[in-house]
Amino acid sequence: MDTSQGMSPVVDNNLTLPPIADAAAAPRIDCRNIKVFYGETQAIHDVSMSFPDRAVTALIGPSGCGKSTFLRCLNRMNDTIENCRVEGQILMDGENINDADVDPVLLRSRVGMVFQKPNPFPKSIYDNIAYGPRIHGLANGREDLDAIVEKSLRRAGLWDEVKDRLMAPGTGLSGGQQQRLCIARAIAVQPEVILMDEPCSALDPIATARIEELIDELRNRYCIVIVTHSMQQAARVSQRTAFFHLGNLVELGDTSQIFTNPREKRTEDYITGRFG
Amino acid sequence: MLQQLGQLPMGWLLIALIAVFGSAAFFLGRTRAERLLETSIGRMHSRPNYHGYYVAMCTVVPVLLIAVAYAIFADDLTRSQLTRELPSSFDRLSAPELQSYLDSVRMAAGTAASSGADRVFQAITNRYLELRGFVNAATLVLLGALAAIGIFWSQSRLRPDFRARALVENGMQLVLFLCAGVAIATTAGIVFSLLYESLLFFQKVSAWDFLTGTRWNAQTNAEFGALPLFFGTFMIALIAMLVAAPIGLFSAIFLSEYASPKARGWIKPVLEILAGIPTVVYGFFALLVVAPAVRQLAIWINELIIQVGLSSEPVLAAQPTSALAAGLVMGIMVIPFVSSLSDDVINAVPQTLRDAAYALGATKSETVKQVVVPAALPGIIAALLLAVSRAIGETMIVVMAAGKSARISMDPTSDLTTITVQIVSLMTGETGFDDPKTLSAFALGLVLFAVTLAFNVVALRVVKKYREKYD
């Protein structure tokens, strides 16, 4: 697929896809009866869904529908929030990641995350990428680390722009470059899954297009879950789409089906702009 | 008549007059504005009260200026006229003698006619009262006239479209500015007097000798080498920071990263109580508890070293007051400065940075060590610098627990003295202001001021730069 000419049209995207059915057969993550509570308030009601490997799943829905909360269950980031409680099973390689004996620190090295606002560390570009490999001991010596940094930056499509100033502070890059730096940083720890929480909401359309291209390239290697407010974005980058409303999973299906022929009335209302 | 005027309690009278003139002007102005309101067509620009305030302002301000001028100049004016009229036999009195004579005249004048004094004194007292009465009368007349002019002039300006409200607003602004000006002028005055007296001192003692000399004996031998004082100050501040920096920083990290909101809710106020303890209380804590303990420890270490055979003589001085005792207690005193400010800057580190580290699989302590603290480092350094400047300027603890011997000794159990201790001992007791001994206190004060100012300026700049980065 040609990704050098800006955004790939939706049709093109769907044409090149492998059939979705085989992805459902071997899900990377399988969530069963997920409930999330903030104190007494229930934010997610009994959601069961699976995420195929080597495909992009988009979570869409109006603000406050619980899609970010659900995303954060997948790498147990909700653990860092005071009085947040998660119930249900999330199976990765047959293991429930909500089990008490699963170390969230190790889990997060397998499930990378990219946030809404670019959040590079106030360190150099190099150190931003090298941070993860260093704490997990992924590199044997300086040369190995250099190689990881270069590979990650290349995959994030940032290498050519920063290769001459790897020691410059990461906070000095533009917003779009910072977000690609954050993606590179997540890639550097060799995750199996990448979670993206509205990765383009703070970016201009051109930077957004670059990130979307990048997501499309990364799809070949990772299981990607993206939360987005932009239905066009969901249509452009994802193969599967899940529509959330008021903490419930309303509809889950192939992206083309959700956007052209939704089964649920609420889904249709939302994607045609009648609410949300 | 004039003599009786001379005995008027002018202070109370002036205050009463200002109040009377002010309120009278206010009511006159407001009444007039209310009349204008009845007769005028359409709306007045300002409410009647503002017209009242405006008239009162125009009246009180000149009256106040006269009152201030009276308070400053009345006595000097009377004295200088009296001195000119004194009989020639007074010429042989020296200036201070004349001053004290005139002081007693003034005292006698204040307590009405004193019997039993000699006739010359009586006559001079009466003359003082006459002169004073003249000054008082002139002041009152001038004051009344200005008040009257103020009332009538400002009243005559009142019109329906007169912008009294805006003018009162300007007046308020001026008052606020003057209040701020008092603080600034006082600071400038203190700096100026420090500089001036220090220059006098440096005319008698060379600045180079003062800054680099190693013998300090101001009280008896007029030896002004301040290096031992600088050393003592530095040593005690260093000990204090060795205590305060780790404890303060770690407690800040605990409070901001690990403590539950509930724990934080009571630990933080308790830590801040430390900042509210008067330093003199720390002082006797240092003197009565810590200093003896330090001495005991030093004696024990000495014995241990002798027993082991490393030395045949006691190694540590083990004195009853010591740099270590003062430094330890001072360190405890500045903990809240470090912890509170560091806690603020650590809290200012955006949550998204912590999330980023956690999402990469960093543990909590890795996140704190490698992301949060480095991001907050400029602010933490600023907090430490402010604490240092506080420790350097601290007086009470060192006066009570550090001792008075000016010496350069690396042994923390020996007594040392600091700049502040020496200033206290130089400025208390009998002093003359032309004595180099007293003047040296100003030079020490100047050094202290320069050092703490430098620390504060650097700290504030660092904090400012850091704030800009995350806002």
Both tokens of A45, joined, read: 């009601």
- Residues B101, B93: contact at Cβ < 8 Å? yes
B12-36 b/e (C-beta count within 10 Å ≥ 16 → b): eebeebbeebbeebbebbbebbeeb
Q: What is the largest CA-CA distance in chain A?
A: 57
User: Is residue B139 predicted with pLDDT exceeding 70?
Assistant: yes
Classify strands A240-245 and A248-254 as parallel, antiparallel or unpaired. antiparallel
For the CA atoms of B186, B190, B193, B198, the dihedral, rounded to the nearest 10 degrees, stands at: -170
Taking residues B134-157, what's their average pLDDT?
Answer: 91
Q: Residue A25: what pLDDT?
A: 52
Question: Which residues of chain B from 261 to 290 reach within 8 Å of chain A, CB to CB?
Answer: 261
Q: Residue B45: what pLDDT?
A: 83
Distance (Å) from the C-alpha of residue A141 to the closest C-alpha of chain B?
20
CA distances from B443 to B203, B262, B431, B435 (A): 11, 50, 16, 13
Closest to B234 (Cα-Cα) out of B463, B455, B424, B458: B455
The verdict on a CB contact (< 8 Å) between B360 and A123 is no
CATH superfamily of B208-470: MetI-like (1.10.3720.10)
Within 8 A of B353 by CB-CB distance, chain A residues are: 119, 121-122
CA distances from A239 to A73, A147, A261 (A): 21, 32, 15
A246-269 b/e (C-beta count within 10 Å ≥ 16 → b): ebbbbbbbbbbebbeebeeebbbe
Fold of A10-120+191-271: Rossmann fold (3.40.50)
For the CA atoms of A73, A85, A91, A61, the dihedral, rounded to the nearest 10 degrees, stands at: -40
What confidence tier does A19 reach under pLDDT thresholds 50, 70, 90?
very low
**Preferred mutation among B352, B353, B355, B360 to probe A, highest tally of A CBs within 10 A:** B360
List chain A domain ranges: 10-120+191-271
Q: What is the pLDDT of residues B361-393, one digit of tens each?
A: 999 999 999 999 988 988 899 899 999 999 999
Within 8 A of A119 by CB-CB distance, chain B residues are: 350, 352-353, 355-356
- Mean residue pLDDT across chain B: 88
User: In angstroms, how far is CA A42 from the centroid of its own chain?
Assistant: 23
Within 8 A of A132 by CB-CB distance, chain B residues are: 360-362
Distance CA A190, CA A195 (A): 13
Which residues are CB-neighbours of B168 under 8 A, at least 6 positions away?
A: B50, B53, B54, B57
Which residues are CB-neighbours of B327 under 8 A, at least 6 positions away?
A: B235, B236, B237, B238, B239, B240, B242, B243, B412
Within 8 A of A189 by CB-CB distance, chain B residues are: 360-361
3-state DSSP assignment of residue B218: coil
Distance CA B471, CA B95 (A): 63
List phi, psi (to 5°) of B246: -65, -45
3-state DSSP assignment of residue A9: coil
3-state DSSP assignment of residue A108: helix
User: In angstroms, how far is CA B340 from the centroid of its own chain?
Assistant: 23
Among the partner residues B261, B358, B375, nearest to A77 by beta-carbon distance:
B358
Both tokens of B304, joined, read: 């241990």
Question: Beta partners for A47?
Answer: A34
What confidence tier does B44 reach under pLDDT thresholds 50, 70, 90?
confident
Segment among A245-249, B125-129, B145-149 with least mean pLDDT: B125-129
A vs B, Cβ pairs < 8 A, gives 67
- CA dihedral for A138, A140, A146, A151, sign (positive or negative): negative
Residue with the bigger pLDDT between B105 and A32: it is: A32
Distance CA A208, CA B392 (A): 54
Q: What is the pLDDT of residues A139-185, one digit of tens each?
A: 899 999 999 999 999 989 899 999 999 999 999 999 999 999 999 99
What confidence tier does B468 reach under pLDDT thresholds 50, 70, 90?
low
Distance (Å) from the C-alpha of residue B352 to the closest C-alpha of chain A?
6
* E-strand stretches of B9-52: none
Classify strands A223-227 and A193-197 as parallel, antiparallel or unpaired. parallel
Q: What is the pLDDT of residues B321-363, one digit of tens each?
A: 899 999 999 999 999 999 998 998 899 899 999 999 999 999 9
User: Is residue A24 predicted with pLDDT exceeding 80?
Assistant: no
Q: Which helix (H) or strand (E) holds A196?
A: strand A193-197
List phi, psi (to 5°) of A201: -70, -20
CA distances from B318 to A80, A152, B388, B412, B417 (A): 51, 62, 26, 9, 16
DSSP symbols for B398-439: HHHHT-S-----S-TTS----HHHHHHHHHSSS--TTSHHHH
Closest to B231 (Cα-Cα) out of B399, B410, B447, B390: B410
The verdict on a CB contact (< 8 Å) between B361 and A105 is yes
List phi, psi (to 5°) of B74: -55, -50
Q: Residue B246: what pLDDT?
A: 96
Considering A26-40, B86-100, B402-416, the range whose residues carry the highest mean pLDDT is: A26-40
Name the DSSP class of B198.
H
List phi, psi (to 5°) of A196: -125, 120
- Mean residue pLDDT across chain A: 88
List chain B domain ranges: 2-161, 163-204, 208-470
Q: What is the pLDDT of residues B436-455, one digit of tens each?
A: 888 889 999 999 999 999 99
The verdict on a CB contact (< 8 Å) between B356 and A182 is yes
Question: What percent of chain B is modeled with pLDDT above 70?
Answer: 96
Chain A interface includes B199 (CB < 8 A): no
Q: What is the pLDDT of residues B49-59, one digit of tens each?
A: 899 999 999 99
What confidence tier does B467 reach under pLDDT thresholds 50, 70, 90?
low
- CA dihedral for B460, B466, B469, B471, sign (positive or negative): negative
Q: Of how many residues is chain A composed?
A: 276
Among the partner residues B355, B363, B371, nearest to A77 by beta-carbon distance:
B355
Chain A interface includes B358 (CB < 8 A): yes
The verdict on a CB contact (< 8 Å) between B360 and A185 is yes
What confidence tier does A219 reach under pLDDT thresholds 50, 70, 90?
very high
User: Is residue B70 predicted with pLDDT exceeding 50?
Assistant: yes
Name the DSSP class of A80.
G
Both tokens of B17, joined, read: 């007059």
User: Is residue B470 predicted with pLDDT exceeding 60?
Assistant: no
Closest to A47 (Cα-Cα) out of A62, A60, A61, A36: A36
Among the partner residues A113, A122, A186, nearest to B374 by beta-carbon distance:
A122
Both tokens of B30, joined, read: 């407001």
CA distances from B71 to B39, B45, B136, B140 (A): 44, 39, 11, 13
Number of Cα atoms under 13 Å in the Cβ half of residue B362: 26
**Preferred mutation among A82, A108, A182 to probe B, highest tally of B CBs within 10 A:** A108
The verdict on a CB contact (< 8 Å) between A105 and B350 is no
- Residues A65, A245: contact at Cβ < 8 Å? yes
